[in-house]
Amino acid sequence: MRYKEASTTVIFIRHGSTDYPEDRIYKGDNGPALNEEGRLQAERLGAWLKGNDIAAVVVSPSTRTIETATPIVKSLGIGYKIMDELKERGFGIWEGLTFSEIEERYPEGLSKWKIDPVSYIPQGGETIVDIQKRVNSVVQWALQEYKGKKVAVVSHTGPIRVIVTQALQIPMINYRHLQIHPGSATRIDYGTSAANLIYLSVLPGGNKP
């Protein structure tokens, strides 16, 4: 028989859809705004989370995450806190380029990245371990500040993938096997001895937050 320990809930939300090309790496600026579908996804998230006793909402500084968080905090009747640690991975000199352009300009670097996606760093960029450390710092802050409560974190694919990988003790090399849909929610309950994945990349519907 398993003992059910008290836990703190963190709901990781990926921003809604944008018109940014899927084969192009995001730039390190505030990025694109949500498109029409992305705005609908944000509204659905807000309606889905309404009425939940979420104590805080923390958000990446990007335009698309702030726009996603806006209807959520409106439905909850609280504000949000921007945290730079939640931003998407920095790819340095690769930012703003398509993978075809990277292959043409930096073929050696791309080959190294394909072999070692965890540790390889494009010039001026971050490793996956770098992202994991900064996102985990937000999780640890939430666990201390809101122990036993629920916190919503509005972020990006990369940060959500690595934090789930860490929580479940999955080898980091497999982080890209996790698919995180635009406008989706992923819930982890952090207990004293273990972290439990309650749901992964669910879109608002019948599931309860």
- State whether residue 110 is helix, strand or coil: helix
Q: Residue written as tokens 């450390």? A: 133
Distance (Å, whole) CA 107 – CA 99: 10
15 is catalytic: yes
Distance (Å, whole) CA 6 – CA 192: 8
What does the chain come to in residues?
209
| Catalytic member of 15, 43, 67, 95 | 15
Q: Kindly state the tokens that stand for 117.
A: 């996606």
E strands present in 117-157: 150-155
156 is catalytic: no
DSSP state of 14: E
Distance (Å, whole) CA 72 – CA 152: 9
Given a contact cutoff of 8 angstroms between Cβ atoms, the answer to whether 35 and 29 are in contact is no
| Catalytic member of 67, 88, 95, 126 | 88
List, in sequence order, every residue forming a beta bridge with 146; answer none if it has no partner: none
Distance (Å, whole) CA 22 – CA 19: 8
Q: Strand order of the sheet with strand 195-202?
A: 81-82, 54-59, 150-155, 8-14, 185-190, 195-202
Give catalytic residues, as residue numbers: 15, 88
